[in-house]
């Protein structure tokens, strides 16, 4: 046994993660892949790396020092189960199996329970940052037992990205907590990307600026409170010119956004938890809408507003859009952290939202200055019920709300879809409202389904006898 860590699955993510591990002082990495060719290629391409090439699960297990620790990086779903089944046969109690793939967290909960019965530890770890991050330092969100964290923690800390001097990894919580948090990370990423896309669209159609000119706007924004990886790469994408046509690349890319499903998982989970993640939902739906060309063709003749959309003062409009973007972003993150809070309560995880915001500061797609403010907010008040209500964010919303409204009004009048901007503003107005028309909804529910209601002026549960004499009676609480 010569290796202290192993990697199973050597496609882009696995091979880069194995190279990252092998580059760290003291590590020797056992590598295994279903088809032999990938292992051979990796060994041939990096003769200098501290790899131990293995070609069977038996050889893989024999090459690992105890407790054996292996990270699986294969296609999520069936392939992950197949690899776990093989590892369980050759590993022993106390060993650790880590799934670094993009598993759906209920699968991780199921796998952790099943593997634990063999005495082997199972850790579902969300890994963010794509190929580049896997190689140079990802943000890592491990779940699993406290026992496995003792062995795994130092290894993961050695390969994670570093932000403000801290490695971007923390023991998120037990069993599926890591994959849950990774899922919400991806959902927030969807919202952030959609908000930026709406900002670009409004500026382009309102001011007539070219993509290259708008790239400069984003580059400028990246110096302020919006500073983030996504704003930075937006400027890069907008600057890019297509070699073939000489047009801006953004004008020749087909306008149908793809998705691998993590946004949908975030929204589905939020629906079952009863958490309004409207920014993430609208971002996910916007991708779906874009990807139905037949429906878009069928709707092409729908009329829009009569007047051309132009803004009188381009600079003022751009500043309004910047403020709308920042305010909507605050709402999207606040909603995402709300989902983590609700998930932790539902699945009995102890998740430190402040620690989560700190490990997202480096390595992952949503890395941003802004996450320091989130970390500050949770440091100040760990049980903060609504992230957006922390003073820094509440102040920013108060400062930005007038601009945000002007932008949503302009978009509506111009017929420019801005679902994430406008739904975030609707959430803001909903959450701050002193009274909501939910009272009428309760009345309707009581009318047709005797679902009962509570009153503002006394304790108890009530029902109006709608089909009788319409007097009110005290009733059993049926929700
Ligand atoms: P893929 O998701 O494309 O999976 C390819 C790997 O899975 C290969 O090593 C393949 O072996 C192996 N595999 C398959 Br397919 N079926 C198998 C089976 N039944 N038994 C054993 N191995 C099997 O690789 P990836 O893009 O590197 O992603 C790896 C994981 O990381 C995924 O869960 C992904 O969602 C996640 N992830 C990816 C990114 C990213 O940016 N790509 C980012 C974050 C997380 P073979 O060589 O023999 O076919």
Query: Cis peptide leading into 344, omega within 30 of 0?
Result: no
Is residue 190 marked as binding?
yes
Distances (CA, A) of 341 to 49, 91, 189, 282: 41, 35, 18, 21
Cα 468–474–477 angle (5° rounding)?
Answer: 110
Pocket test of ligand 1: the residue of 6, 7, 13 to mutate, having most ligand atoms within 8 Å of its CB, is 13
User: Is 445 flagged in the annotation as binding?
Assistant: yes
What pLDDT is recorded for position 476? 80
User: Is 287 among the annotated ligand-binding positions?
Assistant: yes
Name the residue of 7, 10, 73, 74 whose CB sits within 8 Å of the most ligand 1 atoms, as the mutation to test its pocket: 74
Tell how far the Cα of 34 is from the centroid of ligand 1, in angstroms: 10
- 407 labelled ligand-binding: no
DSSP per residue over 217-241, as a string?
HHHHHTTTTT-BHHHHHHHHHHH-B
pLDDT at site 1: 75
Active site residues: 182, 189
What pLDDT is attached to residue 109?
A: 98
Q: How many Å lie between the centroid of ligand 1 and the Cα of residue 375? A: 33
Distance 393 CA to ligand 1 centre (A): 39
Rounded to whole angstroms, the Cα distance separating 114 from 122 reads 9
| Mutational test site, ligand 1, from 6, 7, 8, 9, max ligand atoms within 8 Å of CB | 9
Other beta carbons within 10 Å of 136: 15
Indicate if the alpha-carbon torsion angle 152, 153, 156, 159 is positive or negative: negative
Structure tokens, 390: 């922390």
Q: Is 89 annotated as a binding residue?
A: no
Say how many Å lie between the CA of residue 103 and the centre of ligand 1.
11
Q: Could you give the dihedral angle defined by the CA atoms of residues 275, 279, 282 and 288, in that order, rounded to the nearest 10 degrees?
A: -100
Q: What Å distances lie between residue 280 and 126, 137, 195, 275, 431, CA to CA? A: 19, 26, 10, 11, 17
**Tens of pLDDT, residue by residue, the chain (479 residues):** 799 999 999 999 999 999 999 999 999 999 999 999 999 999 999 999 999 999 999 999 999 999 999 999 999 999 999 999 999 999 999 999 999 999 999 999 999 999 999 999 999 999 999 999 999 999 999 999 999 999 999 999 999 999 999 999 999 999 999 999 999 999 999 999 999 999 999 999 999 999 999 999 999 999 999 999 999 999 999 999 999 999 999 999 999 999 999 999 999 999 999 999 999 999 999 999 999 999 999 999 999 999 889 999 999 999 999 999 999 999 999 999 999 999 999 999 999 999 999 999 999 999 999 999 999 999 999 999 999 999 999 999 999 999 999 999 999 999 999 999 999 999 999 999 999 999 999 999 999 999 999 999 999 999 999 999 999 999 986 65
What would the DSSP string read from start to end of 277-314?
A: -HHHHHHHHHHHHHT-HHHHHHHTTS---SS----S-H
- The Å distance, Cα 86 to ligand 1 centre, comes to 16
Given the CA of residue 74, which atom of ligand 1 is nearest to it?
Answer: 7
pLDDT of residue 479: 56
- ipTM of the prediction: 0.98
Determine which residue's CA is closest to atom 41 belonging to ligand 1. Answer: 130
The whole-angstrom separation of Cα 227 and Cα 63 is 45
Q: What is the pLDDT of residue 263?
A: 96
Has 35 been labeled as part of a binding site?
yes
Show Cβ contacts of residue 142 under 8 Å, excluding neighbours closer than 6 positions: 98, 123, 124, 125, 126, 149, 152, 156, 169, 171, 172, 178
Are residues 148 and 115 in contact, defined by beta-carbon separation less than 8 angstroms?
no
How far apart are the CA of 117 and the centre of ligand 1, in A?
26
Residues in contact with ligand 1 by the CB-under-6-Å rule are 9-14, 33-35, 38, 73-76, 79, 82-83, 101-102, 127, 130-131
Nearest CA to ligand 1 atom 2: 75
Residue nearest to atom 7 of ligand 1 (CA): 74
């Amino acid at each position: 046994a010569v290796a202290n860590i192993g990697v199973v699955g050597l496609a882009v993510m696995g091979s880069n993660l194995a190279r990252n591990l092998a580059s760290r002082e003291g590590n020797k990495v056992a590598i295994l892949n279903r088809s032999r060719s990938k292992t051979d290629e990796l060994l041939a391409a990096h003769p200098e790396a501290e790899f131990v090439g293995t070609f069977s699960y038996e050889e893989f297990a024999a090459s690992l020092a105890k407790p054996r620790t292996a990270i699986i990086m294969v296609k999520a779903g069936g392939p992950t189960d197949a690899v776990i089944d093989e590892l369980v046969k050759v590993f022993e109690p106390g060993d650790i199996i880590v799934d670094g793939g993009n598993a759906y967290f209920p699968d991780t909960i199921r796998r952790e329970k099943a593997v634990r019965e063999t005495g082997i530890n199972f850790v579902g770890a969300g890994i963010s940052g794509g190929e580049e991050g896997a190689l140079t330092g990802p943000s890592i969100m491990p779940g699993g037992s406290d026992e496995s964290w003792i062995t795994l923690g130092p290894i993961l800390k050695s390969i994670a990205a570093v932000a403000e001097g801290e490695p971007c990894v923390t023991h998120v919580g037990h069993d599926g907590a890591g994959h849950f948090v990774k899922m919400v990370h991806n959902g927030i990423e969807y919202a952030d990307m959609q908000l930026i896309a709406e900002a670009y669209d409004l500026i382009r159609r309102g001011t007539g600026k070219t993509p290259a000119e708008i790239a400069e706007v984003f580059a400028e924004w990246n110096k302020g409170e919006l500073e983030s990886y996504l704003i930075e790469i937006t400027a890069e994408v907008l600057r890019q010119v297509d070699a073939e046509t000489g047009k801006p690349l953004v004008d020749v890319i087909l306008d149908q956004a793809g998705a691998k499903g993590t946004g949908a998982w975030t929204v589905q989970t939020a629906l079952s938890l009863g958490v309004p993640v409207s920014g993430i939902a609208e971002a996910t739906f916007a991708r779906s809408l874009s990807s139905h060309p037949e429906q878009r063709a069928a709707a092409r003749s729908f009329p829009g507003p009569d007047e051309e959309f132009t803004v009188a003062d381009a600079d003022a409009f751009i500043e309004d859009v910047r403020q709308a973007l920042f305010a909507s972003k605050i709402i999207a993150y606040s909603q995402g952290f709300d989902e983590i809070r609700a998930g932790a309560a539902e699945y009995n995880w102890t998740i430190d939202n402040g620690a989560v915001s700190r490990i997202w500061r480096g390595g992952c797609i949503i890395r941003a200055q802004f996450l320091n403010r989130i970390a500050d907010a949770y440091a100040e008040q760990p049980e903060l019920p609504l992230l957006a209500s922390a003073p820094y964010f509440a102040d920013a919303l108060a400062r930005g709300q007038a601009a945000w409204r002007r932008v949503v009004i302009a978009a509506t009048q111009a017929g420019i879809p801005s679902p994430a901007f406008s739904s975030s503003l609707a959430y803001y107005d909903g959450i701050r409202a002193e009274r909501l028309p939910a009272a009428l909804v309760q009345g309707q529910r009581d009318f047709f389904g005797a679902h009962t209601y509570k009153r503002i002026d006394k304790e108890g549960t009530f029902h109006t006898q709608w089909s009788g004499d319409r007097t009110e009676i005290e009733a059993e609480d049926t929700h």
